């Protein structure tokens, strides 16, 4: 009887502790209007595409008829490119936007996160801005969207820049904890209303080669934009739908000048996949950064954007 009482007592302590933890980390959805005050100052704008108000920034000389389009990765936002844009916009028109399911754009109204649909969204943005052809650059999921757009709509892309891009079937040596929890049916339900900031910090540090470079300000950005109404549910759908598929067999058909940037310390998508991209894309150049992780453009923006500028100069149209 005493053993039973002790066991029940311990169980009660665990339940109370868990309930207290969940209550302390309550994080309800936040509206776009509320978040926009901080995360969408000028030159941010919202354009209607396929029933979504897509958060977008269009900077640099409008006379540039072949602008650079920057596409972010999973759970990121257009802000991940801030430092690249500061350099690139001096000479080039640079457009970036929050992909469906992320940032201030939020969920797709049709709950469609197939890679082909993401490519259609890119083309719809180009059409809306009356852009015939562009340089497509993307990190992780954004890289997948970039090369998929080049495969499906080759006449709309002049060059590719792939930064630790996804799209091949792969196994991570280490995945951000937030991604793991979002994939799980039970924990993903909890995360709809609870989001410890420490979980976000741990996940961001996981994709950096040097976790000490992850600042509180950076964590706050990822954290707040994750709370955009609908984003947490959309993340689970994104993981279920945007999977490597038959389209990967067509990577070999890409003949565009392509720059491939990769962090050797990338634990989410190992560097061997950067090598694979370079082997399958005929007109490509691979640069590996030994000390960087999965988001080298964010971790070492000046070093990585220098490689981009050189690539663009060498491959001027």
Give the range among 81-95, 180-194, 231-245 with minimum mean pLDDT.
180-194
Q: Is the dihedral of CA 140, 167, 138, 301 positive or negative?
A: positive
Given a contact cutoff of 8 angstroms between Cβ atoms, the answer to whether 115 and 105 are in contact is no
Residue 286 has pLDDT above 70, yes or no: yes
Angle between helical axes of 32-39 and 216-226 (0-180°, round to 10): 150
Is the pLDDT at 296 greater than 50? The verdict is yes
Read off the pLDDT band of 316 (50, 70, 90): confident
Q: Is residue 20 included in any domain, yes or no?
A: no
Q: Give me the CATH number covering residue 241.
A: 3.40.50.1820
What percent of the chain clears pLDDT 70, i.e. is strictly above it? Answer: 84
- Number of structural domains in the chain: 1
Mean pLDDT for the stretch of residues 178-192? 59
**pLDDT over 70 at 161, yes or no:** yes
Residue 66, pLDDT score: 96
Mean pLDDT of 21-45: 83
pLDDT at 25 over 60: no
Distance of alpha carbon 254 from alpha carbon 280, whole angstroms: 8
Tell me the average pLDDT across 135-163: 98
Give domain status of residue 301, yes or no.
yes
Of the ranges 31-35, 276-280, 305-309, 313-317, which one carries the lowest mean pLDDT score? 313-317
Could you give the angle at the alpha carbon of 45 between the alpha carbons of 42 and 48, nearest 5°? Answer: 175
Query: Does residue 4 lie in a domain region?
Result: no
**Within-domain flag for 8:** no
Question: Between vectors from CA 43 to CA 115 and to CA 109, what angle results, nearest 5°?
Answer: 35
Q: What is the pLDDT of residue 243?
A: 81
Q: Give the model's pLDDT for residue 245.
A: 83
Q: What is the pLDDT of residues 63-84, one digit of tens each?
A: 998 999 999 999 999 999 999 9
Whole-angstrom Cα distance, residue 71 to residue 150?
13
How high is the pLDDT of residue 2? 62
Q: How far apart are CA 138 and CA 144, in angstroms?
A: 7
Strands 68-71 and 134-139: parallel
Q: What pLDDT score was predicted for residue 20? A: 47
Chain segment 259-279, per-residue pLDDT in tens: 999 999 999 999 999 999 999
pLDDT band at 281 (very low <50, low <70, confident <90, very high): very high
Residue 218 has pLDDT above 90, yes or no: yes
Spatial CA neighbour of 251 closest among 148, 135, 159: 148
d(CA 308, CA 299): 15
pLDDT at 17: 43
Q: What is the mean pLDDT of residues 288-297?
A: 98
Average pLDDT, the chain: 89
State the pLDDT at residue 22. 44
- The reply to whether 303 falls in a domain is yes
Domain annotation covers residue 300: yes
Q: How confident is the model at residue 19 (pLDDT cuts 50, 70, 90)?
A: very low
Say whether pLDDT at 227 is over 90.
Answer: yes
Reported in sequence order, the residue ranges of the chain that DSSP labels E, i.e. its strands, are: 44-49, 52-59, 68-71, 94-97, 134-139, 157-163, 258-263, 284-289
The whole domain housing 115 covers 32-314
Lowest mean pLDDT among 103-112, 141-150, 242-251: 242-251
**Average pLDDT value for residue range 192-218:** 92
Is residue 245, in this structure, part of any structural domain at all? yes
Note the pLDDT of residue 310.
97
Comparing 36-45, 240-249, 306-315, which segment has the lowest mean pLDDT? 240-249
The pLDDT score that the predictor gives to residue 127 is 98
- Does residue 63 lie within any of the structural domains? yes
Helix (H, G, I), strand (E, B) or coil at 114: coil
DSSP codes of every residue in 176-222: -HHHHHHHSHHHHHHTTTB--HHHHHHHHHHT-SSGGG--HHHHHHH
């Amino acid at each position: 009887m005493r053993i039973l009482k002790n066991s029940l007592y311990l169980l009660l302590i665990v339940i109370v502790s868990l309930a207290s933890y969940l209550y302390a980390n309550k994080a309800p959805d936040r509206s776009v209007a509320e978040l926009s005050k901080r995360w969408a100052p000028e030159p941010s704008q919202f354009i209607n595409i396929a029933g979504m108000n897509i958060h977008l920034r269009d900077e640099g000389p409008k006379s540039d008829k072949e602008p650079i389009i920057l596409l972010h990765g999973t759970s990121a936002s257009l802000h991940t490119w801030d430092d690249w844009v500061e350099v690139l916009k001096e000479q080039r028109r640079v457009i970036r936007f929050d992909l469906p399911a992320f940032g201030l754009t939020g969920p797709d109204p049709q709950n469609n996160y197939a890679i082909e649909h993401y490519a259609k969204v890119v083309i719809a943005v180009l059409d809306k801005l009356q852009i015939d052809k562009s340089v497509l650059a993307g990190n992780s999921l954004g890289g997948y969207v970039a090369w998929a757009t080049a495969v499906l709509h080759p006449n709309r892309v002049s060059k590719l820049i792939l930064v630790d891009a996804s799209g091949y079937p792969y196994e991570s040596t280490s995945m951000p904890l937030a991604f793991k929890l979002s994939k799980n049916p039970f924990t993903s339900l909890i995360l709809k209303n609870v989001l410890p900031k420490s979980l976000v910090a741990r996940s961001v540090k996981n994709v950096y080669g040097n976790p000490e470079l992850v600042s509180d300000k950076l964590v706050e950005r990822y954290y707040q934009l994750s709370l955009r109404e609908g984003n947490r549910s959309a993340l689970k759908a994104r993981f279920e739908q945007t999977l490597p598929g038959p389209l990967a067999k067509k990577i070999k058909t890409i003949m565009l000048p392509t720059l491939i940037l990769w962090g050797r310390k990338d634990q989410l998508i190992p560097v061997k996949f950067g090598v694979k991209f370079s082997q399958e894309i005929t007109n490509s150049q691979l640069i590996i950064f030994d000390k960087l992780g999965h988001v080298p453009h964010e971790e070492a923006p000046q070093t990585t954007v220098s490689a981009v500028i050189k690539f663009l100069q060498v491959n001027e149209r």
